[in-house]
Structure 1
Amino acid sequence: MVLVHHPTTSGGGSLLERADLSHPIPENARKLAQLVEYDESRVELGTHSVFVREARPPGAHYAKATVIFLHGQSFSSSTWTENNMLRTFAALGYRAIAIDLPGSGQTRGAALSQADKPTFLMDFIETLGLKQVMVVSASMSAQYVLPLMTSNRHLCCVVLVAPSNTHEVVNPSSYIVPTLVVWGERDTSLGPTAAANLKNLPSVKLQKIPEAGHACYLHNPKCFENFCVNFFDLIRSYHR
């Protein structure tokens, strides 16, 4: 189990709310990313053969944590290999895993009902024996993540990118996993709606990405990466 300390400051809101997540990733890390290689594999989960893309810290270094990337409805895990994104996170010391969700890409097996999606993600994490798990979830894939955010058993933090289904969050105080909600400034529907629905989570940061639409991680990848990495580092600094 991951225990997370949520620091607060008297009269000033949480440190997460006040944090500056815009610090740029060092250029030497971006250069190191060019040396990172991708691994492709399959994980058997019941009736599904899940296609996995993975990047690990170069030189067999110990990983700070595992980041699982979940794609949106009309995408696949290849979304996260564009712009060297998985490689960049690996160069910064994270084990970066992107999967083709059931019904998409190269994963074999039927699409899942909404009710079965959280169990699928939970089973994937447990099958690989992953600890210190962080999730980046784009739009539709929030269906896999939101129901798990009322417990820190599996997830230590979550980045939700213009997530769907946020209208189902009816008791915000029960969602205890630290959360970064990001959306592109040109996204005029799902992103702002999600921000409005999630702004009262007990540990949340809302961040708009400039010069980007709904798929903000593709339109302004460096800004997106900066926000994610600074958020991850902040959350890790308060683990105990």
Structure 2
Amino acid sequence: MVVVQPTSLLERADLSRPIPENVRKLAQVVEYDESRVEMGSHSVFVREARPPGAHYAKAAVVFLHGQSFSSATWLENNILRTFAALGYRAVAPDLPGSGQTRGRALRQEEKSSFLVDFIGTLGIKQVLVVCASMSAQYVLPLLSTERLTCVVAVAPSNTHEVTEPTTCTTPVLVVWGDRDTSLGPTAAANLRRLPHARLQKIPDAGHACYLHNPTFFEEVCVNFFELVRNYSGI
């Protein structure tokens, strides 16, 4: 019997399988809610989309925006609605110092604890994260813990700070646009050393590849999520 190693699965899996057209149509009618989550001195503004028809969510995807953006980024091209139509609870907060969240901006060393507290406040158990650029500062310190099920890191910043890659057991998909000539390739070079990492270029896209080629971006994300959920040993 041939035993397929988890890393081999990540390397060989086809992440470009299309999202079914009926899901795309369903996403058009998914509604999203706006709310606030009170966390000490922060009043966090949150946008959220859930599976339609009060269906059970198979997991939660937390979307973290980049420095020049807010949670509204994930409303563009129906990204939140698409993941809700696929059966996920899609949650997008305005990070402290951005958007409509009240309270001071966080120091870098506070950010991962903030994310853990936010997830705990929402009562989320199985957590999948999409982080873009600057928001990787919230996520990278957690890769060596069991807090996150898996991570899609979009041209993440601060990857040079991952100094002990072998301790980072969380599966990570590193994506970047093929027209991104700085942060994306740098992140790929730094994070390819992680034991459960997959690198994926997004064609016809720049730094904000989820805006430039949302269809391909959604496909690789959901196929990666399903791969990790189906093979929990990854």
For normalisation by structure 2, the TM-score amounts to 0.97
1:116 equivalenced with 2:110 (yes/no): yes
Aligned to 1:179: 172
Aligned to 2:160: 167
Which of 132, 151, 158 in structure 2 is aligned with 1:158? 151
Which of 103, 123, 133 in structure 2 is aligned with 1:129? 123
Instruction: Quote the Cα distance in structure 2 between the aligned partners of 1:195 and 1:9.
Output: 28
Instruction: Quote the Cα distance in structure 2 between the aligned partners of 1:12 and 1:45.
Output: 37
Distance 1:46 1:12, change over 3 A: closer
1:194 equivalenced with 2:183 (yes/no): no
Matched positions, count: 232
Where in structure 1 do 4 or more consecutive aligned residues deviate above 2 Å? 8-13
Instruction: Quote the Cα distance in structure 2 between the aligned partners of 1:204 and 1:239.
Output: 15
The offset of 1:9, in angstroms, is 5.2
Instruction: Quote the Cα distance in structure 1 between the aligned partners of 2:13 and 2:55.
Output: 28
The offset of 1:12, in angstroms, is 10
2:176 aligned counterpart, secondary structure: strand
Q: Deviations over 1:20-63 (max 9, x none)?
A: 10001001000000111010000011100000000000000010
2:7 touches 2:195 (CA, 8 Å); kept in 1?
no
The offset of 1:13, in angstroms, is 5.2
Aligned to 1:38: 32
RMSD: 1.4
Q: Deviations over 1:54-88 (max 9, x none)?
A: 00000000101000000000000000000000000
1:224 equivalenced with 2:217 (yes/no): yes
Aligned to 2:9: 15
Instruction: Quote the Cα distance in structure 2 between the aligned partners of 1:51 and 1:15.
Output: 37
Q: Deviations over 1:133-175 (max 9, x none)?
A: 00000000000000011011x2100000000000001111111
Aligned to 1:70: 64
Unmatched 5+ residue regions in structure 1?
Answer: 1-7
2:173 aligned counterpart, secondary structure: strand
2:45 touches 2:101 (CA, 8 Å); kept in 1?
yes
Paired amino acid for 1:237? N
Percentage identity across aligned positions? 74
1:85 equivalenced with 2:79 (yes/no): yes
Instruction: Quote the Cα distance in structure 2 between the aligned partners of 1:176 and 1:94.
Output: 23
Paired amino acid for 2:102? R
Instruction: Quote the Cα distance in structure 1 between the aligned partners of 2:58 and 2:6.
Output: 30
2:51 touches 2:86 (CA, 8 Å); kept in 1?
yes
2:64 touches 2:135 (CA, 8 Å); kept in 1?
yes
1:96 equivalenced with 2:73 (yes/no): no
2:173 touches 2:200 (CA, 8 Å); kept in 1?
yes
The offset of 1:10, in angstroms, is 6.1
